[in-house]
Chain A
Amino acid sequence: MAFGRSSRSKRPVEPVTLKILVAGGFGVGKTTLVGAVSEIRPLRTEERLSEAGRPVDDLAGVEGKDTTTVAMDFGRITLREDLVLYLFGTPGQDRFWFLWDELAQGALGAVVLADTRRLEDCFAAVDYFERRGIPFTVAVNLFEGAGQFPTETVRAALDLDPEVPVLLCDARDRSSVRDVLVAVVEHALARAGLSPEPART
């Protein structure tokens, strides 16, 4: 009696999901970067700030200024049927730091997108990932009209550890963004204490 087996093959594949964060100052091109590689138009989701421990029926709470919404942009890259990478653009404003904690949980790594005209905008993100031990790569978005600096100058200005990759990129360009993402994952792999050797499979 072979019942109950046939439905099994029809079950949808349950992919392994991973996420990479995209951080950086407001207007530095995070959404553009996500859109350049995402197979879906960058989606937007909202997190409601009142959620953190506010009593459910405390109506006074909903009038507090902490009950606003934060939008997060995200994209998806299906690497294989069973392997899906999500990219999340972190909210730019500093006051939403606590949201980062949830986003950062289980994140594979992060891209810190920088604009050399406003390099200080990404200090906070660099600091955050350094403290949390999350592998990150600094990608300098080459805006037209922005002076181009060697990556070593950017590294020095940000006081980065020598092993942190710094790349120049064009957030609009798919292959350029892909290279940035590869650098993030390679850095994560190196951080796992293993030299990048060819996969055995």
Chain B
Amino acid sequence: MSADSVRDTAPGPPHAPADAGSSRWYDAEAGPVVRPYAMTRGRTSSASRHRLDLIAIVVPEPAADDPGRDQTLSPEHVEIVELCSDMPQSIAELASGLDLPVGVVRVLVGDLVEDELVHVTRPVPPAELPDVNILREVINGLRAL
């Protein structure tokens, strides 16, 4: 199954609505309801211990040079590795680029981390402000825009 077949599927409930009222909780904007999680085989969390931050950067490992050879990977896994090989990308950018929900991308990236095909940068820990020097560099960088 390719990502396209999921993406382009017309929105609709898994079964025909028995009554008109059953469609009131979502609309076409909401997109397909369940299918993206078929790519994760129904999993909504991955084995990795940490919930991946939206701005965590996914960096391919050297072992990921030819992800297409790994038969256990889904096309979406391969696509993530390829996107990151061009330029390391954040979880948010991958979700947007692949047109997948963030939760799905988290699970797929978690798989790749398990397989040691990518690693993920740890952003600033929660409840901690970044280093003062970094803040100064951000200010300087913004002023130079």
- The answer to whether A46 touches B102, judged by C-beta atoms less than 8 angstroms apart, is yes
How would residues 36 to 67 of chain A score, 1 for a CB under 8 Å from any chain B CB and 0 otherwise?
Answer: 01000001111110010010110100111101
A144 to B42, alpha carbons, bound, how many Å? Answer: 49
A2 to B61, alpha carbons, bound, how many Å? Answer: 20
Chain A, interface SS category: mixed
Which single residue of chain B is at the shortest CB-CB distance from A69? B30
Question: Using a CB-CB cutoff of 8 Å, which residues 1-52 of chain A contact chain B?
Answer: 7, 11-19, 37, 43-48, 51
- The answer to whether B143 touches A17, judged by C-beta atoms less than 8 angstroms apart, is no
Question: Using a CB-CB cutoff of 8 Å, which residues 92-145 of chain B contact chain A?
Answer: 92-93, 95-97, 101-103, 121, 123-130, 132-145
Stretch at the interface among A102-110, A122-130, A153-161, A163-171: A102-110
Size of the chain B interface, CB-CB below 8 angstroms? 56
A74 partner residues in chain B, CB cutoff 8 A: 54, 92, 96
With A43-B93, A79-B138 known to touch, is A12 a contact of B87 (CB < 8 Å)? yes
With A17-B121, A79-B141 known to touch, is A67 a contact of B33 (CB < 8 Å)? yes
With A17-B121, A37-B145, A65-B25 known to touch, is A80 a contact of B53 (CB < 8 Å)? no
On B, residues with C-beta under 8 Å from A are: 13-14, 22, 25-26, 29-31, 33-34, 36, 42-44, 53-57, 59-60, 62, 87-88, 90, 92-93, 95-97, 101-103, 121, 123-130, 132-145
On A, residues with C-beta under 8 Å from B are: 7, 11-19, 37, 43-48, 51, 54, 56-57, 59, 62-65, 67-69, 72, 74, 76-77, 79-80, 83, 85-86, 88, 102-103, 105-106, 108, 174, 178, 181-182, 185-186, 188-189, 191-192, 194, 196, 199-201
